[in-house]
């Protein structure tokens, strides 16, 4: 682990001022030299592995950003809200069950007690080559190459990939947030921003080291969810190699409403198969106005995976994701 400065911020303004002093420095390439430390469940691991090498770490766990509150019929979630608290919050369990289910399917109870909403949004890939500094990785060291394309890629992405990166986004929470059309709110010394979650995450393209639209020194303060539609139903389904403490091979978050025997609103997001939480507009279009039945669900699944680009070892994910979508839709439409 490299030497770094540890500072503690008492409020958002102080955290931003601390970060601003080093925003011009970059280490490693493409990554800010300052990192904000919340629960530390990802950052500390990556620092120990020498993947993350910040020169300054700002401890923000004292920041007053740990509330879940109603807002204009929806909900606002502070960036420091712990995953366990969010999953078990009455507002979330009652009105956004897909989010509660996604959070409870991730990690372990101990990690959920530490991990935060803001940190989960920034959770980095579990690709073995990203975490192994002895191997080339464009995400970790731009221009060095992608070892996964010709290497072990069973767990990696089949949607949104490029010739430079095929790493998956590992978060369950982010998939549910995408289906719920969350908005990520940030602050920097220059401005406050509200970023639609589907625009918050970036495709790798030729710059896989840039995973989100955050700028150097910009801090996530909270997330807002719109008011749930009357009569909406939602489900998160996660398929994995073992029943607990495992990342998704394929997952699906479904939010929908059915009126007069037809689907009149639907949002579908996929995990485990995309380079970012994958909103499937194609699947949604295939379902609108149709009866919630097996033929419609199959059509949606086919549409969702039509642009899949499997690698040498993960072709099974195409069919697995299709079945995940169909089963999630079946569960959602059976929910009272």
- Rounded CA-CA distance 81/104 in Å is 14
User: Residue 24: its pLDDT value, please?
Assistant: 47
- Rounded CA-CA distance 17/63 in Å is 14
User: Residue 21: its pLDDT value, please?
Assistant: 77
User: Residue 2: its pLDDT value, please?
Assistant: 76
> Could you please report the per-residue DSSP string of 18-76?
HHHTTTT-BSSTTSBSEEEESS-TTHHHHHHTTS---SEEEE-TTSS---EEEETTEEE
pTM above 0.75, yes or no: yes
**Spatial CB neighbours of 23, under 8 Å, sequence gap ≥ 6:** 32, 34, 216, 217
User: Residue 28: its pLDDT value, please?
Assistant: 46
- Rounded CA-CA distance 292/319 in Å is 21
- Rounded CA-CA distance 260/266 in Å is 15
Q: Which long-range contacts (CB under 8 A, 24 or more apart) does 244-250 make?
A: 244/108, 245/107, 245/108, 247/126, 247/155, 247/168, 247/170, 247/272, 248/170, 248/172, 248/272, 249/155, 249/317, 249/320, 250/317, 250/320, 250/321, 250/324
Residue 31 resides in a domain: no
User: Residue 286: its pLDDT value, please?
Assistant: 98
The length of the chain is 336
Residue ranges in the chain modelled with pLDDT below 70: 1, 22-32, 335-336
Residue 299 resides in a domain: yes
- Rounded CA-CA distance 96/107 in Å is 20
Question: Whole domain around residue 313: which residue ranges?
Answer: 233-334
Find out whether 24 and 36 touch, Cβ atoms under 8 Å.
no
User: Residue 25: its pLDDT value, please?
Assistant: 44
Q: What residue has token string 């949004």?
A: 121
Q: How many other CB atoms are found less than 10 A from the CB of residue 294?
A: 11
Looking at the structure of the chain, the number of domains it has is: 1
Residue 311 resides in a domain: yes
The CATH number for 273's domain is 3.30.390.50
Residue 67 resides in a domain: no
CA 234 to chain centre: 18
Q: How far apart are the first and last CA of the chain?
A: 52
User: Residue 23: its pLDDT value, please?
Assistant: 57
Residue 119 resides in a domain: no
Phi/psi at 263 (5° precision): -80, 115
- Rounded CA-CA distance 198/20 in Å is 27
Residue 12 resides in a domain: no
């Amino acid at each position: 682990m490299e030497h770094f400065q540890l500072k503690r911020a008492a409020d958002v303004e102080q955290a931003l001022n601390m970060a601003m002093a080093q925003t011009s420095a970059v280490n490693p390439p493409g990554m800010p030299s300052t990192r904000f430390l919340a629960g530390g469940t990802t950052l500390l691991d990556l620092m120990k592995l020498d993947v993350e090498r910040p020169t300054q770490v700002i401890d923000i766990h004292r920041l007053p950003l740990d509330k879940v509150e109603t807002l204009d019929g929806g909900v606002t979630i502070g960036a420091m809200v712990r995953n366990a608290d969010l999953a078990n919050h009455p507002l979330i369990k009652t009105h956004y069950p897909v989010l509660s289910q996604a959070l409870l399917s991730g990690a372990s109870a101990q990690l959920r007690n530490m991990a935060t909403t803001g940190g989960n949004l920034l959770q980095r890939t579990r690709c073995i080559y990203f975490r192994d500094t002895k191997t080339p990785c464009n995400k970790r060291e731009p221009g060095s190459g992608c070892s996964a394309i010709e290497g072990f890629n069973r767990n990696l992405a089949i949607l949104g990939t490029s010739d430079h990166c095929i790493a998956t986004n590992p978060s369950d929470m982010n998939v549910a947030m995408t289906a719920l059309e969350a908005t990520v709110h940030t602050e920097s010394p220059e401005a406050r921003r509200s970023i639609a979650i589907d625009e918050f995450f970036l495709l790798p393209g030729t710059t896989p080291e840039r995973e989100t639209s955050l700028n150097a020194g910009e801090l996530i303060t909270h997330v807002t969810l719109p008011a749930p539609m009357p009569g909406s139903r939602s489900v998160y389904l996660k398929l994995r190699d073992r029943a607990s403490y495992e990342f998704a091979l394929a997952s699906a978050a479904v939010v929908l409403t059915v009126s007069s025997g037809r689907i009149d609103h639907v949002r579908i997001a996929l995990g485990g198969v995309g380079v970012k939480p994958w909103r499937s507009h194609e699947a949604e279009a295939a379902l609108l106005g149709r009866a919630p039945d097996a033929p419609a669900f199959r059509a949606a699944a086919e549409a969702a995976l039509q642009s899949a680009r499997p690698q040498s070892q993960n072709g099974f994910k195409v069919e697995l994701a299709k079945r995940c979508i169909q089963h999630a839709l079946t569960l959602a439409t059976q929910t009272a």
